[in-house]
Amino acid sequence: MDAMPLIAVLARALRVDYSGTLALDGVDVDLHAGALTVIVGPNGAGKSTLLEVLAGAQQPSSGSVEVAQRTRAFVPQRAAVSAHLPLTVRDVVSVGAWGRTGPLRRLTAAHRAAIDGAMQRLDIAPLARHPFSSLSGGQRQRALLAQGLAREADILLLDEPTTGLDAASAQLNRAAIAYEVDRGATVVCVSHDDRLIADADHLIRLDGGRVRPDGAESAMTALRHPLS
């Protein structure tokens, strides 16, 4: 008999109310550890809201989120780093390691290796000393994804990681996501990318703030496993 999958995040009855407008309405989600889950649905379905709640970036109006794994990294769709700050590309990526060390502690050799590896996988290592403000939109998106990877988090949450990118940049991001899954991370993406959707281990289909009945993550979702 196959071992039951570990549930990394267990969310129940999530409700997010924006002044009378329900962005999420009673959403239940199981996120399987070490798997790629893609959240899909039309615009306004509540996908980004769900991702933010799962990331801990937003509190639900009601419901609960239980996290079995320790660290989460969240990469939103919009750049969280001002292009006007006097930061190099490496500075921006290095921020990802602060989640493990704190901003006042010295980076170790292991932290620097994680930063270097993330930049290499996203093909921005040659831009390390360039001002972040000098990058193209696609390069900035790759730098921010590298920032998330540099944390080496147990759970990686990404909002539209390939949207608006050229084919080569999108493929680099997909390869980086596959690398994270291979190392055992739990990866959750909001995406309309057919390639990412095809690669997903599980899908969550949202519509009108609710999970569609045909959007079960897999046949295994019918089994409810406790957090371990």
Would you place residue 108 in the very low, low, confident or very high pLDDT band (cuts 50, 70, 90)? confident
Contacts 24+ apart (CB under 8 A), 99-107: 99/71, 99/73, 99/151, 99/153, 100/71, 100/151, 100/152
Instruction: Report residue 226's pLDDT band, with 50, 70 and 90 as the boundaries.
Output: very low
Hey, CA dihedral for 189, 194, 199, 201, is it positive or negative? positive
- Tell me the angle at which helices 109-121 and 137-150 cross, rounded to the nearest 10 degrees: 140
Give the Cα separation of 88 and 108 in Å (integer): 19
- Per DSSP bridges, beta strands 186-190 and 202-207 are unpaired
* pLDDT value at 223 more than 50: no
Residue 17 burial (C-beta neighbours within 10 Å; 0-12, 13-18, 19+): middle
Q: What does the pLDDT read at residue 224?
A: 34
3-state secondary structure 37-78: EEEECCCCCCHHHHHHHHHCCCCCCEEEEEECCCCEEEECCC
**Which of 108, 183, 109 has its CA nearest to residue 149?**
183
By percentage, how much of the chain surpasses pLDDT 90? Answer: 71
Residue type present at position 9: V
215 has pLDDT over 60: no
Find the mean pLDDT for residues 143-152. Answer: 94
Q: Report the alpha-carbon distance of residue 193 to residue 93 in Å, rounded.
A: 24
Helices (H), the chain: 47-55, 89-101, 109-121, 137-150, 167-182, 194-199
Contacts of residue 120, defined as CB under 8 A and 6 or more positions apart, other chains included, come to none
Average confidence score pLDDT of the chain: 87
Report whether pLDDT(195) > 50.
yes
Residue 210 tokens read as: 């609710």
- pLDDT grade for 97, boundaries at 50, 70 and 90: confident
Tokens of 220: 């295994």
pLDDT tens-digit series, residues 115-137: 999 999 999 999 999 999 898 88
| Closest C-alpha among 123, 169, 175, 119 to residue 149 | 119
What is the band of 30 on the pLDDT scale with cuts at 50, 70, 90?
A: very high
Compute CA distances 32 → 24, 156, 187, whole Å. Answer: 21, 12, 9
pLDDT tens-place string over residues 50-86: 999 999 999 999 999 999 867 899 998 766 566 677 8
The yes-or-no verdict on residue 225 having pLDDT over 60 is no
